[in-house]
Amino acid sequence: MTSLLPYIGPKLLRAALSIIVVVTLTFFVLRASGDPALQILGPGARAPDLAAFRQQWGLDQPLYVQYLRYLWGALQGDFGNSMLAGKPAAELVLERMPLTLALMLPALALNVLIGIPVGAYAAMHRDSWIDRSVMMLTVLCFTVPSFVLGLLFILIFSVTFGLFPSGGADKWQSFVLPVLTLGTGGAAVIARFTRSAMIEVLSQLYIVAASAKGVTWRQVIYHHAFPNAIIPILTLLGLMLGGQVAGAVLVENVFGWPGIGQLLVISVGNRDLAVVQVILLLVALTMTSANLTMDLLYGVVDPRLRNARQGSH
Amino acid sequence: MQKKLQIDLSTLLASLWLCLMLLTAVTAPLIAPHDITAMDLRHRLSPPFGFGGTVVHLFGSDDLGRDVASRLYYSIRTSLLIAFGATVISVLVGTAIGFIAAYFKGIVEHFLLLLIDVQASLPFLIVALAMLAFFGNSLPLFVALMGLYGWERNARLARGLALAAGSQGYAGATRQLGAHPLRIYLRHILPNSAATLLVAATVTFPEIILVESGLSFLGLGVQPPMTSLGVMVGTGREYITRAPWMLLAPSIVIVLTAVAVSVLGDYLRDKLDPTLT
Amino acid sequence: MTLLQLEKVSRRYPIGNTVFGSRKSLTAVDQVSLEVKKGQTTGVVGESGCGKSTTGRLALGLEQADSGHVLFEGKELAASGTREWRLRRQRMQLVYQDTLAALDRRMTVGDLIAEPLVIHEIGDRPSRRQRVLDLLQAVGLGEHHRALYPHQLSGGQRQRVVLARALAPSPSLLVCDEPVSALDVSVQAQIVNLLVDLQQDLGLGILFISHDLRVVRHVSDRIVVMYLGQVVEDGRADAVIDQPLHPYTQALVSAMPRLPGGFDHYLPLPGEPPSPTERPSGCPFHPRCDRAKDICRQTPPELLTLGPERRVACHLVSNP
Ligand code: SF4
């Protein structure tokens, strides 16, 4: 058996490097964007105060010392304080994490629970009118930007019919529209992908099924077509994560959802850099670990691939 | 041969819509009946013509009595202009980085590839927001920032093209003649890659429109008194109950543009360059 | 007078993953020595994968040798890509096999031929124009070809353009890498004859690389036979063709169709040429040699100098 390490090793290294690049870039961009002492104390600050501030925060040290300190702090979860809230930035972000997850995880579930059945159904009824209209609908769903979609939902379901609230996060009803908005685009992408993946698998399996007696069509689909299509779908989910994160930022703002996305926009507006930086790092971490997981999954499931990739470089 | 001429209905409609957008953007000053900041206090929140509004404000007016139609035309103009500038930047930056990576190889290439990876692994919207936080917002800066959109894709593409032209083909032959690398890249590889890079640009362009409208919607992109589609959606949302047309007019434009672009993008990818991802 | 001299030149390529994997390497060119004299042609012949093309690229300095020396006009070649190296290109030029790939399809024939003049800042606009016309004529093309694009030409015409382009900066050395293999047999003869004529007119030294001994024999003064990156035999062209000493050369010669004075019986070459990654022990040719002895399987034969211009690497000759 081939060891997984030579396959995953370089990817792990790459992921770690990516994170380091993000951290480093943030640090330098942060420093380049202006004198933190001036930013925090304001342009009217007196020179002795500025000097004292710089000394207190180590800003008078050489840049590399500051960088190392920054790294050391980051490792311990210290990203500085939010200027606005006067609290540690990391704390502020983590506080809001549950609400954002409460939005993203159901949306993810929606992606899969709607996308796969719809796509599979369309594949099995290929070229029927249902297939055609569903596919047309999916184009609409994944191309429309989430903030427009969200507002249209509000217009239809809240303003016109008064079915769901248009904002807030207090009742279960509040979840419906944001989750729907966030989940629709992904579901459409997955539906389209599932359809084409299934069609490909089905076209290969047709002969097998026809020749193997006693095997029903249904069994073929459940035992062969689905398992074969599921891995590419998982990969796709990994690839879609970036879009979901960006979508969450917009959706949270459309619905006034007090999650990380809203915090990000507020912090950007106020140039609350410490908070922005924590969120940036959080997203980077999430994305790289998601990618890594997908790679790992692929390597475990498909040893051929792992050898092929190794050899090709 | 015959296949190439076949354009299905949806592609035709998509191109027509995009042409209309282009035309609107170009002629906005001519066709807009009002100044975008002109307030008509007698007709505030007036609904569109045919829904109880006047012909004076075809698509209605907003909270300050400004003409929605005029604002819409100018928004399209702004959005398209920004996207155009940004696309040019994105393709130029991407191509330069891709070529540099292909030329220098070794550690430089690895570093650039790492940067490309990092960018590809971060949602652009997040990166853009962070940059806005770090550097503040002004129109030139905003266009430059939008120009970062898709650079990693263009860089990958350009690097691939340069490598393909590389040692075996005409590039290697010209190098062998004793040409300076700059000459090889600018006079040979660039003209030969132009077609493919242009196709990539047609994909980047509309995507930038959407990112821009998203940021402007959040109030972090185009700043008043300028207006863009996103800005209009952003203000429209405040009056969603009383004046839904303020929201609907720009939204419909965004939706139709998005769909048209996706239809046309598929078509271009199929016909022009199947290798483009 | 010696124009180009390769002295025990070797080129290895790393294979496998260089970051985490082992650093294995394959030897594409192994201790190759050869020379090209002014106004003469040295032919290099061998099957694909024998390292003959790499040898050509090493001779031009397009690749850097891992060991050994490449002397051109008595001087060691400068490192690839440097200004000095670029200037040197005027004197040494490459003629390609794949002419469609080697010519930028967006440039006209005239611009393509003028490009080396522009690069090396030779002459002004009118004189370049005249030079292009002269060159077109020299390679048997006419003025009307000047405005055409490469894809509008036939393979033979394109090869003429490549030749004109190579000749433009007045080089003293041409390396021709399979210059006619992609062409029809009738066109091959035309191009080969053109090359011979040009050589006589211009006093060019040519390194002519081909898998086709027939063509090589026609143009060459000296022939170098390569197998798996090594020179197995070389000598004056007629000597190598009339009295091949190495079993591999003998097989190549016997495979030449309708050669007057050739071997009566055809010596078949069994098997495919081995890949350089799996180099056999002892004599590299032994798995395919019908006269292999025990010693052949263990000890590689030395390249033995038999006369002033004759070398061979075979135990049949060194330990008969
Ligand atoms: S050394 Fe031996 S194996 Fe090699 S060619 Fe001569 S006889 Fe054949």
Q: Per-residue pLDDT tens for B196-241?
A: 788 778 778 878 888 888 888 888 878 877 788 888 888 888 777 7
Placement of tokens 């382009």 in the chain = C165
Around ligand 1, the residues with Cβ closer than 6 Å are: C 246-247, 283, 285-286, 289, 291-293, 296, 301, 314-316
Measured in Å, residue C251 CA sits from the centre of ligand 1 at 12
Higher pLDDT, C303 or A297: C303
- What backbone phi and psi angles, to 5 degrees, belong to B33? -70, -25
Nearest alpha-carbon partner for C61 in C11, C108, C13: C11
- Cα angle B89, B90, B91; round to 5: 95
- Cβ A6–C19 below 8 Å, yes or no? no
- Of these ranges, A267-271, B8-12, B85-89, B163-167, the one predicted with the greatest mean pLDDT is B85-89
| Segments making up each domain of chain B, as ranges | 14-272
A-chain residue closest to C21, CA distance: A6
| pLDDT interval class at B44 (50, 70, 90) | low
Placement of tokens 């096999």 in the chain = C97
C-chain residue closest to A311, CA distance: C16
Q: Is A238 exposed, middle or buried (0-12, 13-18, 19+ CB in 10 A)?
A: middle
Q: Which residues of A touch C19 (CB under 8 A)?
A: 10
Contacts of A11 (CB under 8 A, 6+ apart): A292, A295
- Cβ B176–C101 below 8 Å, yes or no? no
pLDDT at A312: 34
Q: For residue C286, which atom of ligand 1 is closest to its CA?
A: 3
- Cβ A313–C17 below 8 Å, yes or no? yes
Site to probe by mutation for ligand 1, drawn from C283, C303, C304, C312 as the one with most ligand atoms within 8 Å of Cβ, is C283
Please answer whether residues C194 and C114 qualify as being in contact, where contact means their C-beta atoms are separated by less than 8 angstroms: no
B-chain residue closest to C166, CA distance: B177
Whole-angstrom Cα distance, residue C220 to residue C224? 10
What are chain B's partners, defined as 3 or more CB pairs within 8 angstroms? A, C
Nearest alpha-carbon partner for C151 in C106, C115, C190, C97: C106
Measured in Å, residue A273 CA sits from the centre of ligand 1 at 76
Whole-angstrom Cα distance, residue C207 to residue C176? 6
Whole-angstrom Cα distance, residue A167 to residue A30? 34
Please answer whether residues B217 and B233 qualify as being in contact, where contact means their C-beta atoms are separated by less than 8 angstroms: yes
Placement of tokens 């080089």 in the chain = C171
Average the pLDDT over C229-241 and give the result.
89
Measured in Å, residue C283 CA sits from the centre of ligand 1 at 6
What are chain A's partners, defined as 3 or more CB pairs within 8 angstroms? B, C
- pLDDT greater than 50 at residue C261: no
Please answer whether residues B178 and C87 qualify as being in contact, where contact means their C-beta atoms are separated by less than 8 angstroms: yes
Site to probe by mutation for ligand 1, drawn from C248, C285, C299 as the one with most ligand atoms within 8 Å of Cβ, is C285
Mean pLDDT, chain A, as a whole number?
76
| Segments making up each domain of chain C, as ranges | 2-91+171-318
The two three-digit tokens of residue C167, written as one number: 């000749």
- Cβ A17–B114 below 8 Å, yes or no? yes
- pLDDT greater than 50 at residue B16: yes
Predicted-complex ipTM score: 0.78
pLDDT at B131: 81
pLDDT at A311: 36
Residues of chain C whose C-beta is under 8 A from some C-beta in B? Answer: 60, 62, 81, 85-90, 93-94, 96, 98, 101-106, 115-116, 119-120, 165, 169
- Cβ A313–C20 below 8 Å, yes or no? no
Average the pLDDT over A195-208 and give the result.
71
Report the range of poorest mean pLDDT among A1-10, A24-33, A61-70, C182-191: A1-10
- Cβ B133–A22 below 8 Å, yes or no? no
Whole-angstrom Cα distance, residue A73 to residue A83? 17
Q: Is B61 helix (H, G, I), strand (E, B) or coil?
A: strand
B-chain residue closest to C119, CA distance: B179
pLDDT digits (tens, 9 = 90+) for C46-62: 887 788 888 988 988 88
- Cα angle A215, A221, A223; round to 5: 75
Nearest alpha-carbon partner for C11 in C32, C34, C35, C27: C27
C-chain residue closest to A309, CA distance: C17
- pLDDT greater than 50 at residue A309: no
Average the pLDDT over C31-44 and give the result.
90
The Cα of C48 is separated from the nearest Cα of chain A by a number of Å equal to 23
Measured in Å, residue C190 CA sits from the centre of ligand 1 at 37
Selected residue of B176, B188, B192 to mutate for chain C interface (largest C Cβ count, 10 A): B176
Q: Is A230 exposed, middle or buried (0-12, 13-18, 19+ CB in 10 A)?
A: middle
Whole-angstrom Cα distance, residue A266 to residue A63? 29
Nearest alpha-carbon partner for B249 in B264, B261, B237: B237
Q: Which residues of A touch B240 (CB under 8 A)?
A: 151, 154-155, 159, 166
| pLDDT interval class at A213 (50, 70, 90) | low
Whole-angstrom Cα distance, residue C253 to residue C259? 8
Site to probe by mutation for ligand 1, drawn from C289, C298, C299 as the one with most ligand atoms within 8 Å of Cβ, is C289
Mean pLDDT, chain B, as a whole number?
79
Whole-angstrom Cα distance, residue B198 to residue B275? 14
Q: Which residues of C touch A6 (CB under 8 A)?
A: 17, 20-21
- What backbone phi and psi angles, to 5 degrees, belong to B143? -65, -45
Higher pLDDT, A167 or B72: B72
Q: What amino acid occupies position A299? A: G
CA distances from B12 to B7, B8, B240, B267 (A): 7, 6, 33, 10
pTM of structure: 0.75
Selected residue of C104, C115, C159 to mutate for chain B interface (largest B Cβ count, 10 A): C104
Selected residue of A22, A27, A31, A268 to mutate for chain B interface (largest B Cβ count, 10 A): A268
Measured in Å, residue C30 CA sits from the centre of ligand 1 at 18
Give the DSSP letter of residue B167: S
A-chain residue closest to C18, CA distance: A313
Q: Is A271 helix (H, G, I), strand (E, B) or coil?
A: coil
Q: Which residues of B touch A151 (CB under 8 A)?
A: 233, 236-237, 240, 247, 251
The two three-digit tokens of residue C60, written as one number: 């031009």
For the residues of A135-154, what is the DSSP string, one character each? HHHHHHHHHS-HHHHHHHHI
- Cβ B123–A245 below 8 Å, yes or no? yes
- pLDDT greater than 50 at residue C203: yes
CATH no., domain B14-272: 1.10.3720.10
Residues of chain C whose C-beta is under 8 A from some C-beta in A? Answer: 17, 19-21
Of the candidates C96, C106, C169, which has its C-beta nearest B173's C-beta? C96
Of the candidates A18, A166, A242, which has its C-beta nearest B123's C-beta? A242
CA B47, B49, B50, B54 torsion-angle sign:
positive
pLDDT at B274: 43
The three state secondary structure string of chain C is CEEEEEEEEEEEEEECCCCCCCCEEEEEEEEEEEEEECCCEEEEECCCCCCHHHHHHHHHCCCCCCEEEEEECCEECCCCCCHHHHHHCCCEEEECCCHHHHCCCCCCHHHHHHHHHHHCCCCCHHHHHHHHHHHHHHCCCCHHHCCCCHHHCCHHHHHHHHHHHHHCCCCCEEEEECCCCCCCHHHHHHHHHHHHHHHHHHCCEEEEEECCHHHHHHHCCEEEEEECCEEEEEEEHHHHHHCCCCHHHHHHHHCCCCCCCCCCCCCCCCCCCCCCCCCCCCCCCHHHCCCCCHHHHHCCCCCEEEECCEEECCHHHHCC
Q: Which fold has domain C2-91+171-318?
A: Rossmann fold (3.40.50)
Measured in Å, residue C280 CA sits from the centre of ligand 1 at 12
Q: For residue C301, which atom of ligand 1 is closest to its CA?
A: 1
pLDDT at B103: 85
pLDDT digits (tens, 9 = 90+) for A239-286: 788 888 888 888 888 888 888 888 888 888 777 777 888 888 888 888
List of domains in chain A: 96-274 (1.10.3720.10)
Q: Whose CA is nearest to atom 3 of ligand 1?
A: C286
Whole-angstrom Cα distance, residue A94 to residue B24? 46
Measured in Å, residue C231 CA sits from the centre of ligand 1 at 13
